[in-house]
Amino acid sequence: MIDHTRHPFQILAEIARAARHTADLEDFLQRIVAAATDICHAKGGTLRVLQLPEDELRLRAAAGLSARYLAKGKVTVQQSLRKIYAEGPLVIQDIETDVRVQYPEAAVQEGIAAIIELPFAVVPDCHMVLRLHFNGRITPSAEDLAFLTAMGEQGAQAIRNHLVPDRYLKAFQNVSQAVHRGNDTAAILQGIVRQITELLAAAGCIYWIVDMDAMRIEAKISHGFSYRSLAGVDCAALLRIFDSTPGGVILIEDVAADDRIRDLQGLGKQHVRTVAGLVFGIDDRIRGILAVYFSAPYRLTRQDMDLLKVLGEQGAISLHRSRRYDENMLDTFRRTVEGLVTALEAKDPVTHGHSLNVGAYARLTALEMGLSTRAAEQLYHAGLLHDIGKIGMTDKILARLGRLSAKEMGEVRLHPVIGARILEPLVFLGDLIPMIRHHHERYDGSGYPDGLREDAIPMGARILAACDALETMLAGRPHMPRHRPADALARLQGGAGSRFDPKVVRALTAALSKGPDAPPENGLFSSDEDVTNPLKLFPLGF
Ligand SMILES: [Fe+2]
């Protein structure tokens, strides 16, 4: 069918050359239709573009067909796209009877006897259709169709080249505007992973935030399939796949043939075929890892990589800013805590250093129990603040602790509730409040304010209760002499199961038996310790 006397490959080479030098897309598309019509001795041809979710194939170029025929009506998608595009080139010989011909009468009137239709996917939601119309019956060979496909692909590529930078630029503008407006970081990252997934028609996209010091995934924002997949990977496995150096790029075109994801059996490896990822430095400790993954082989273009890079960088900028903001806020928080503790201890010099010591014991106990560093830091702060409710008590009561009337005792017993109330407006301290409210509960349910028992008492409060008691015994009170460490620990163990959670007592005993941190005669600290950097407490705002 194709006229080989016209040197088809020379024509193809000319089109390819024109693709590089023609700035006008419409001109170029027109050239393709004209060349395809010409070399096939067709009556005419059209090139239409379908932009989903529209159903109309809009005319972009035509050759050899009458204006009346071209104006016959809206050309729409008659079948499911999937069917059309899975079938590839389509040859229609029976114009009058083939249901795929939308306007058979107009076609007959135009003198059309056969049609070749070649579909092309430009980008996932945009398709191009090249149609050639013939006066008589045709018998195209597979080579003829392959040749026409190669020609049409030039047009699809030209449309892609116009469309993609425009879309990528728009995505970049959206994200960077959100970053510059100071929008919520989580929302920005969510927007980034969603846009990447949509623009690249990927199976999914994830932005991990990794704390390199703690070797922990701090947060993970993802878009895409929800079953266990790369999204479920732990920190060690993640860092085996991705080089943690900022600027690092990983590209695995075929997961099945690559050793780096060998460890991901059971993590949805069967659903992931191509993975591309980039690493961004947020600060000294924190890395952002952006990964996009595809369920079918996908060859990322340079433009795709640029998109990942610029959007990932915007995410990194937003994270960097939000962390700096958090740091400033936590600095304020730290000064607030110090101020509150100083105010309390100024009122109650007898217990000077008590809060610091309780905080330090609580942190050790938490770590001994295998709780996270973050939980241990929270316990340290809860220890600092556990008696903050006493700040509202009269100096008289505080000075006479141990020789109190029933009424005064009732007032003292309110301090956990008052403490929780004082901290309530400080949203950052939300996790600490239950620990403070319940630090006088007893394991057997005989404590206050709510008489909670066993596991109903928050773990942090159970830890504080034991550490509070130990510190009080070691430091002594006006009505109670100091205990030697061995005696204090023995009494603590005596209370395991009744007053204290046995697990906590075991952990506290074990923690204190470990050399340098064993309790000295006067508790761990006799003077102010530099309050541990509370930044570790709330590293991110989400
Ligand atoms: Fe207390």
pLDDT at 477 over 50: yes
CA 391 to centroid of ligand 1, rounded, Å: 11
**pLDDT value for 375:** 85
CATH number corresponding to 348-536: 1.10.3210.10
pLDDT tens per residue, range 184-242: 888 999 999 999 998 988 888 999 999 888 888 888 888 886 555 566 677 887 888 77
The region of weakest confidence among 141-145, 249-253, 269-273, 404-408 is 269-273
Which of 103, 110, 155 is CA-nearest to residue 129?
A: 155
Separation of CA 487 and ligand 1 centre (Å): 21
- Chain-centre distance for alpha carbon 274: 19
Q: 124 C-alpha vs ligand 1 centroid, how far in Å? A: 63
- Which of 4-18, 31-45, 407-421, 448-462 has the least mean pLDDT? 4-18
Cα 223 to Cα 359: distance, rounded to the nearest angstrom: 40
User: How many angstroms separate the alpha carbon of residue 423 from the centre of ligand 1?
Assistant: 15
pLDDT one-digit tens code per residue, 120-144: 988 877 889 999 999 999 999 999 9
Task: Please work out, in degrees rounded to the nearest 5, the angle formed at the alpha carbon of residue 72 by the alpha carbons of 68 and 74.
Answer: 140
**pLDDT score, position 520:** 42
Q: What is the mean pLDDT of residues 335-354?
A: 73
Least confident of 159-168, 308-317, 362-371: 159-168
pLDDT at residue 539 is higher than 50: no
Residues 56 and 75: beta-carbon distance below 8 Å? yes
Q: Is the pLDDT of residue 398 over 70?
A: no
Q: In the prediction, which pLDDT does 525 show?
A: 37
CB-based contacts of 405, cutoff 8 Å, min separation 6: none
* Ligand 1 centroid to residue 439 C-alpha, Å: 7
Predicted confidence (pLDDT) at residue 541 exceeds the cutoff of 90 = no
Which CATH number does the domain 4-161 belong to among 3.40.50.1580, 3.30.70.1110, 3.10.20.30, 3.30.450.40? 3.30.450.40
Residues near 394 by Cβ (< 8 Å), separated by ≥ 6? 411
Predicted confidence band of residue 267 (pLDDT cuts 50, 70, 90):
very low
Q: How far is the centre of ligand 1, averaged over its atoms, from the C-alpha of 390 (Å)? A: 8
Ligand 1 midpoint to CA 355 (Å): 10
CATH top class, domain 182-318? alpha beta
Q: Is the pLDDT of residue 314 over 80?
A: yes
The pLDDT score that the predictor gives to residue 522 is 39
How many A from CA of 538 to the centre of ligand 1?
25
Give the chain's mean pLDDT: 82
pLDDT at 524 (0 to 100)? 38
Fold match between 4-161 and 182-318? Answer: yes
Q: What is the pLDDT of residue 448?
A: 92
What is this structure's pTM? 0.56
Cα of 406 vs centre of ligand 1, distance in Å, is 17
For the chain, the helix, strand and coil percentages under 3-state DSSP, each to the nearest 5: 55, 15, 30
CA of 172 to the centre of ligand 1 (A): 54
Strand partners, 394: none
Q: Average the pLDDT over each of 21-30, 31-40, 436-445 and give the range with the smallest value.
A: 21-30
Q: How far is the CA of 122 from the centre of ligand 1 (A)?
A: 68
* 537 vs 104, residue with greater confidence: 104
**Per-residue pLDDT for 20 more than 90?**
no
- 380: CA distance to ligand 1 center in Å? 15
Q: Report which listed range, 228-242, 268-282, 455-469, is most confident.
A: 455-469
Q: Could you tell me the residue ranges of all domains in the chain?
A: 4-161, 182-318, 348-536
For ligand 1, the distance from its centroid to the CA atom of residue 383, given in whole angstroms, is 10
CB 293 within 8 A of CB 252: no
Residue 62 scores a pLDDT above 70: yes
Ligand 1 centre and the CA of 442: distance in Å? Answer: 12
CA 449 to chain centre: 40
Q: How far, in Å, from the CA of 536 to the mean position of ligand 1?
A: 25
What pLDDT score was predicted for residue 379?
92
In this structure, the strands spanning 216-224 and 249-252 are unpaired
pLDDT at 394 over 80: no
Task: Categorize the per-residue pLDDT at 431 as very low, low, confident or very high, splitting at 50, 70 and 90.
Answer: confident
> What pLDDT does residue 230 have?
62
Label residue 44 by pLDDT band (50, 70, 90). Answer: very high
pLDDT confidence of residue 403: 67
Cα-flanking dihedrals φ and ψ of residue 119, to 5°? -95, 145
For 154-167, what is each residue's pLDDT tens digit? 999 899 888 888 88
Cα of 353 from ligand 1 centre, angstroms: 14
Please state which of the ranges 76-80, 242-246, 273-277 shows the lowest mean pLDDT.
Answer: 76-80
- For 163-172, 199-208, 319-328, which range has the lowest pLDDT when averaged over its residues? 319-328
- When pLDDT is averaged across residues 61-75 and rounded to a whole number, the result is 93
Counting residues of the chain whose pLDDT is more than 90, the rounded percentage is: 37
Position 519 scores a pLDDT of 45
81 in Cβ contact with 126 (< 8 Å): no
How many Å apart are CA 185 and CA 317, to the nearest integer?
9
Residues 64/44, Cβ–Cβ less than 8 Å? yes
Q: How far is the CA of 53 from the centre of ligand 1 (A)?
A: 64
SS3 130: strand
Predicted confidence band at 300 (pLDDT cuts at 50, 70, 90)? confident
126-135, 289-298, 413-422, 516-525: which has the minimum mean pLDDT? 516-525
In the reported structure, the alpha carbon of residue 416 is separated from the centroid of ligand 1 by a whole-number distance in angstroms of 6
